[in-house]
Amino acid sequence: MRRAAAWIVTWVVLGGVYLLLVDLVNLPELITGAVVAAVAATASELVRAQRDNPLRPPAAGLWRAWRPIARAPRDLALVTGAILRQLADRRPERGRVRAIPFRHGGADPAGIGRRALAEGLGSFAPNTIVIGVDDERNLLLVHQLVPSGDAGEALDPLGVR
């Protein structure tokens, strides 16, 4: 029953996204959207059924999810500036790989959610890409095209470390 409810919710959401993208409500588009959403919802449920560990992101990290979104325009300006400098100077722009302390949280659902949140939302802003988590050294590995001064705030805007 739970899987059927999840499938229906996924189908409705994806059907709505399809309608937003095509911006047409004639019958052929509605049928196509329903079929595409059904295929996507089925694929989503197949993937969910194969998960070994459920995902439970930390509530504190979810409350701070606005930070990477708010930082995106600034990062976009930084990346655009780097592109323009590279075009003008014909010198390659060099980024930097950085590491910050990060408690990875283990293999429980909360730890998996902590890593997923840090990697997913940490890579939202265009200047920063989370490469991964070093479980052995408790580090979050990040690449920045234009290095910023404060590694802690810039690289972990969610405060999940």
Separation between Cα atoms, residue 124 and residue 17, nearest integer Å: 20
Is 122:156 a contact under the CB 8 Å cutoff?
yes
Query: Does 138 map to a domain?
Result: yes
Q: Output the pLDDT for position 145.
A: 86
145 found inside a domain:
yes
Residue 161 in domain = no
Q: How many Cβ atoms from other residues are within 10 Å of residue 128's Cβ?
A: 26
29 with 64, same domain: the answer is no
Does residue 160 form part of some domain?
Answer: no
Q: Which of 49, 72, 88 is the last residue of a domain?
A: 49
- Alpha-carbon distance values, 30 to 3, 35, 98 (Å): 24, 9, 47
Q: What's the CA gap between 87 and 72, in Å, rounded?
A: 22
For the chain, the domain total comes to 2
Q: Is the pTM here over 0.85, yes or no?
A: no
CB atoms within 10 A of CB 87: 8
| 60, 17, 72, 112 alpha-carbon torsion, rounded to 10° | 40
User: What is the per-residue pLDDT for 149?
Assistant: 63
Is residue 94 in some structural domain? yes
Residue 142 counted as domain residue = yes
Query: 77 with 98, same domain?
Result: yes
Same domain as 63, residue 126: yes
Q: Give yes or no: residues 24 and 77 share one domain.
A: no
- Rounded Cα distance between 91 and 141, Å, is 26
Per-residue pLDDT of the chain in tens (161 residues, 90 and over written 9): 888 999 999 999 999 999 999 888 899 999 999 999 999 999 999 988 887 666 666 776 677 778 888 888 988 998 898 888 888 887 777 888 888 888 877 777 777 878 888 888 888 888 888 898 888 888 888 888 888 765 555 555 556 55
pLDDT of residue 34: 94
What is residue 52's predicted lDDT score, i.e. its pLDDT?
Answer: 66
143: domain range? 59-155
In a shared domain, residues 83 and 28: no
Residues 27 and 64 in one domain: no
For residue 144, the Cα-to-chain-centroid distance in whole angstroms is 16
Please give the Cα distance from 88 to 3 (Å, whole number): 55
